[in-house]
Structure 1
Amino acid sequence: MVEQHRRGVAAGIAAGAVWGLIFIAPELAPGFTPMQLSAGRYLAYGVIAALLLAPSWRAVTARLGAAEWRALAGLGLAGNIVYYVLLAAAVQAGGVAMASLVIGLAPIAITLAGSRDRHAVPLRRLAPSLLLSAAGLACIGRDALAGPGSLAGLLCALGALVSWTLYTVWNSRVLARVTSVSGGQWSLLVGVVTGLEALVLAVPAFVWAEGTHEAAAWWRFIGVVGAVGLLCSVFANTLWNFASRALPLALTGQMIVFETLFGLLYGFLWEGRWPTMYESAAVALLVGGVVSCAAAHRKERPEPARAGRARPRPRAL
C-alpha cells in the first residue's frame, strides 16, 4: 500500500509538472482567442489519441456501456473544452499568476469534495494541510489581484476552477468503478471524445473569428497546440489517471498543487524574473500543505513482533 502511494504521488507530481505548461501556452500563441486555443489543443488531442488507440479500438470499446460513454462526453466537456477556454481567457486577461492562484485552490476544493468518501481521512486531520495551502494561495494572490483586467481574469479562473474540480472528482469516481480499461486507455478514450467535441467548437472558433494571421503565426499556433495536446493531454492525463487509482481522492486533490507550482515557475522563467518574497513564501507553504496531507494519509503499519526483545524497535522514517 505504501509503495502504491509513493508511485501515485510521483505520478501526480509528474502530471503537475507537465500541466504547468498550459499556463504559458496562451502567451506562446498571442493573437489567438481562448476558443481557438481550446479547439486547437483538443483537436490535436483527439487525433493523437485516435491514432494510439486504433490498434485496440474494438477490444477496448467492447468493454464500455452507455453509462461510460456518457461519462466520457461529460468529462471531455468539463475537464477539457470548458476548462481550457476559461483558463486561457484567465491567463490572457489577468496573467499567469492570477490563473495559477485560482486554479491552485483546486486541492482545497477537491479535498473537501472527497471528505465524505469511504476511507477518507477526517477533516480534522486535514486541517493543517488546508490551512497551509490557503496561506500559500493568499501569498500568491497578494499582488495578482491588483493588476489590470484582474476582475475578468478572476471570474474566468473561478469558472475554470469549478470545471476542473468537477472533472477531477467525477473522473476519480468513474475510474474506481470502470476497471475494464487501464488508466492510459481511459485517457485516450477521453481524448477521442473530446476531439469530436472540439470539432463542434472549431466552427465558431475559426470560421466566425475576426481578424487574420500570417502563415508564420499559424505554424506557431499549430506547434503550440500540438505540443500541448501531446504532452499535457495524452501524457499528463495518463499519469493523472494512474495517480487517481493509486491515491485517495483527498490526496489526489492535493497533487494538483504541483500544477500551480510548476505553472508559476514557468511563468517566472517566461517573464525573466525571480519570485517575490511573498511568492517564495507561497511555494514553501503550498509544498508544506501537500507534505502534511500525505502524512495524514499515511497508514500506520503494525511492527511485527520479534522474539527476545523487551521493547519494539523504532519505526524507520
Structure 2
Amino acid sequence: MHSTLRAMWTGTFYALVAGLMWGLVFVGPLLVPEYPAALQSVGRYLAFGLIALPLAWLDRAALRQLSRADWMEALKLATVGNLLYYVCLAAAIQRAGAPLPTMIIGTLPVVIAIAANLRNAERDGRLPWARLTPSLLLIAAGIACVNQAELASLHGRSQADLLRYVTGALLALISVACWTWYPLRNADWLRHHPGRNPRTWATAQGIATLPLALIGYALLWLGMRVSGSDFAMPFGPRPSVFIALMVAIGLFASWLGTTCWNEASQRLPTVTAGQLIVFETLAALSYAFLLRGQLPGAQTMLGVALLVAGVVWAARVKPVPVEYVEMERL
C-alpha cells in the first residue's frame, strides 16, 4: 500500500516537472514570431537530437539492448509526437496567440482519458462515461470563456486576422490528435519494457529525431531557395537568439521533459498520467501572460478555473473493472 502511494506521489512530481518544462514550448513561437513554424520545429528537434548524442554515448550499453522494433517505435513517436505536433502547435500560436491553443491543448487530460478508456479498458479498467460527462462540460465551458475573451480582443480587426485565428485553432486541434496518440503509444512501450530506464528511452527518441530534423531542415532550406524567399537561412535574422532558444527548448522541454514524463508513465496508470498534463497547460498560460506583461482578464481566469475544475473532477473518477461495468448494464 505504502509503495503504491509513494509511486503515485513520485509519478505526480515527475509529471509536474514535465509540465513546467513543456510549458516553455508555448512561448518560443512568441519570442521569434518572424521565424516560420516549420523552422522552429526542425530547429528544436535538431537541438534535441544533438543534445542526445553525448547522452547516448554515456548510455550506449543500454541503447545497444534496444531492438530494431524498438528503434522503429522511437522513430514513429519522434515523427508524430515531436515534429508534427510542434510544427502544428507553433503555427497555431503564431496565428491565434498563446491562450486559445494552450486551452485547446489543455483538453488533453480528458481526451487522453477517453482514448485510454476506449483503448486500454481491459488493462487499466474503464472510467464510467456518466461520471466523466460533468468534467467534459466544465472543460468545454472553460475553452468557450477563453475563446470569447480572445475573440473580443480581435473585435474591429480585419477579416484576415479572424481567419488566422480560426486556422490557428484548427492547427491546435491537430496538435491534440498528435499528442493523444503519443502518450498512449509511449506508455504501451514503457509498460511492456518495465526494466528499461526511462532516461534511455528519452535519449533514444532524441537520436531517432535527429535524422528527421536534419532532413526537414535541408528540405526547408531548399524549398525557401527555390521559392525565392528572402528569409536569412540557416538561422534567420536573429541567429544568436534563435540558436539559444532552440537549445534551451531542446534541452529542457524535449529531453528533460520527456525523461520526467517517462518516469511518470512508468509509475502511474495511463488514464491518471494523461490527466496530469494539465500542469503543462497551467505553466504555458502563466508563461504567456508573463511574456505579455499583464494579468489575465476575469473571463480568461474563469476559463482556466473551469478547465482545472474539469480535470480535477475527471481525476476523481476511478477506473472500474470492465466486468463490473458490464454487470451494471445488466
> Which band: TM-score by shorter chain?
0.7 to 0.9
State the partner residue of 1:233: 254
2:317 counterpart SS class? helix
Cα 1:283–1:111 shift into 2, 3 Å: same
Deviation at 1:120, TM superposition (A): 2.8
Amino acid at match of 1:36: L
**Structure 1 residues 179-236: Cα deviation after superposition (integer angstroms, max 9, x where no partner):** 3421111011101111111011001223432223498601110011010000000111
Separation in 2, partners of 1:142, 1:8: 35
1:212 counterpart SS class? coil
2:59 counterpart SS class? helix
2:238 counterpart SS class? helix
For the pair 1:38 / 2:26, whether they are aligned, the reply is no
Q: Do the aligned residues in 1 keep the contact of 2:102 with 2:281 (CA within 8 Å)?
A: yes
Q: Count residues with an aligned counterpart.
A: 298
Equivalent of 1:220 in 227, 241, 260: 241
Q: Do the aligned residues in 2 keep the contact of 1:93 with 1:152 (CA within 8 Å)?
A: yes
Question: Which runs of structure 2 are paired with 1:133-282 in the superposition (5 Å)?
Answer: 133-145=139-151, 147=154, 148=161, 149-209=164-224, 210-213=229-232, 217-282=238-303
State the partner residue of 1:91: 93
Equivalent of 2:20 in 17, 20, 34: 17
State the partner residue of 2:127: 122
Runs of 5+ in structure 1 lacking a partner? Answer: 300-317
State the partner residue of 2:138: 132
Q: Do the aligned residues in 1 keep the contact of 2:194 with 2:266 (CA within 8 Å)?
A: no
Separation in 1, partners of 2:47, 2:65: 25
Deviation at 1:121, TM superposition (A): 4.3
State the partner residue of 2:158: none
Q: Do the aligned residues in 1 keep the contact of 2:89 with 2:172 (CA within 8 Å)?
A: yes
For the pair 1:66 / 2:68, whether they are aligned, the reply is yes
**Structure 1 residues 53-72: Cα deviation after superposition (integer angstroms, max 9, x where no partner):** 21221x22332222211110
Q: Percent identity?
A: 36
Deviation at 1:75, TM superposition (A): 0.1
The two structures have a TM-score, normalised by structure 1, of: 0.88
Deviation at 1:125, TM superposition (A): 3.9
Runs of 5+ in structure 2 lacking a partner? Answer: 155-160, 321-330
Amino acid at match of 1:295: R
Amino acid at match of 1:120: G
Q: Do the aligned residues in 2 keep the contact of 1:63 with 1:181 (CA within 8 Å)?
A: no
